Amino acid sequence: MKVKRYIGQNTQEAMQKISDEMGKDAVILNTRKIRQKGIAGFFKKPLVEVVAAVDDHVSFNYRMLQQQMEKWYNQGNEFAVNRNTPAQNTGNASQVIKKLENQIAAINQLVNKLTDGVNIIKNTSILPVKPAFLPYYERLIENEVNESIAKAIIEEAEKIYDREGIEPENCLNRVLLRYIGPSRPLQIPDNQRKTVMFIGPTGVGKTTSLAKMAAIYSIKQQMKVGLITADTYRIAAVDQLKIYAEILEIPLSILYSPKEIVPALEEHKDKDVVFIDTAGKSIRDRVQEEEIMELINLSKADEIYLVISCNTSCSGCKNIIDSYSFLPDFKLFFTKIDEASNIGTIINCRYMTGKPISYITTGQNVPDDIEIADPDKLLSYMDRRYKDRRVDPNGPS
Ligand SMILES: Nc1nc2c(ncn2[C@@H]2O[C@H](COP(=O)(O)OP(=O)(O)O)[C@@H](O)[C@H]2O)c(=O)[nH]1
Ligand SMILES: [Mg+2]
């Protein structure tokens, strides 16, 4: 490929130069107006600069073709024999050119195929996963699974695929089911009171979820339920739980300092289960952290639910998990799956913490909108949303 810059008083002049030097196969790459050098240049008409390129190989073939034809004429071959009948000459010459053009076109096609092949090989090397798993990787990304987590999941699926040769989708589902993991809902053995603490950022749905659980255990399971709230930072928060406690006719204790949890639990010693509500903690608030730890230690909480909304981005989840890394042990409790467009948050949090899932909440209704997290259901949920979006990208998801 030959690339050259031509300057003319106007475009026509520059084009003429290109045509004279490079021939009709030249390709124009760029055209622009340029000022002549020096102050005087400002007062003169701008020149036109044209950058053109020509494929040396193509010009060479044309020259070769011309030379070859000249040779045939001079050697007295069929062109030379018919030299006196120009119409026929033109016919034969054009047939030869046509034939050569066809051959060039065939070669071009072959070269294009080869180049495509090279591109595929190049692209494959930059693909995040093996081509057979690409749609499934994309499905995970669509579900807002974090990229590096999606890669780790696909890598495991690829290993199963290599080892067992089963369908890529089945390999992926097997890995995903393991990543979501079996759920660990609340178990309340006979004659043993359980204390369950709800911890997590403000507004994720701790109090609402606690009310749902309290209603299920008191009304549906006919158990003795007690409520304690340590969220006394806001009057509204206390009132919110008071209303639920009144409706459900469940006793509620309000703590104004962590130490008060000991007598409060003593008051609830006849209960089967006591649910403890806490205030949302701002990131890296040491005082709140110490208060939560004091509550956990003094109550000897049997279960701690770290409540995370399914609306949370992966970086948001990472912040939450980091900021609650002081917790001794916990289960994941996911809320607002009805508002989320995917289950990426669940997979990301499971991957980052390795902690089991307990429940998911599916709406604001107390007590109906809560379920024990079912891995198969979550998996199909992910798939359905993915397929729905693929069918109608603008439709509801
Ligand atoms: N859409 C939806 N909203 C919820 C869900 N759970 C709780 N909420 C709402 O989230 C808001 C905050 O809930 P709240 O329990 O006060 O959060 P807390 O600050 O963590 O105690 C309220 O408006 C709840 O009705 C859920 O599963 N889905
Ligand atoms: Mg609350």
329-357: pLDDT as tens digits: 999 999 999 988 788 999 999 999 999 99
Contact between 285 and 206 (Cβ < 8 Å) = no
pTM recorded for the entire structure: 0.69
**277 CA to centre of ligand 2 in angstroms:** 7
Distance from residue 374's CA to the centre of ligand 1 (Å): 21
215 vs 227: CA distance, rounded Å: 11
Among protein residues, the one with the nearest Cα to ligand 1's atom 17 is 205
Cα R_g (the chain), whole angstroms: 38
In whole angstroms, give the CA distance from residue 289 to residue 291.
5
Instruction: Give me the amino acid identity at 363.
Output: G
In CATH, what number does 194-373 get? 3.40.50.300
Q: Is the CB of 364 under 6 A from ligand 1?
A: yes
- CA of residue 234 to ligand 1 center, whole Å: 16
**Which regions of the chain carry the CATH code 3.40.50.300?**
194-373
Question: What pLDDT is recorded for position 87?
Answer: 45
- Which ligand has the minimum distance to the alpha carbon of residue 334? 1
* pLDDT score recorded for residue 313: 92
Q: Is the CB of 363 under 6 A from ligand 1?
A: yes
pLDDT per position as a tens digit, 153-165: 999 999 999 999 8
DSSP state of 133: G
Query: What is d(CA 397, CA 393) in angstroms, rounded to the nearest whole number?
Result: 8
pLDDT beneath 70, residues of the chain: 38-43, 56-91, 111-127, 283, 383-397
Residue 82 pLDDT: 41
Is the C-beta atom of 361 inside 6 A of ligand 1? yes
| C-alpha closest to that of 218 among 246, 242, 240 | 246
What pLDDT, on a 0 to 100 scale, did the predictor assign at position 79? 42
**What's the gap in Å between 290 CA and the centre of ligand 1?**
25
203 in ligand 1 pocket by Cβ < 6 Å?
yes
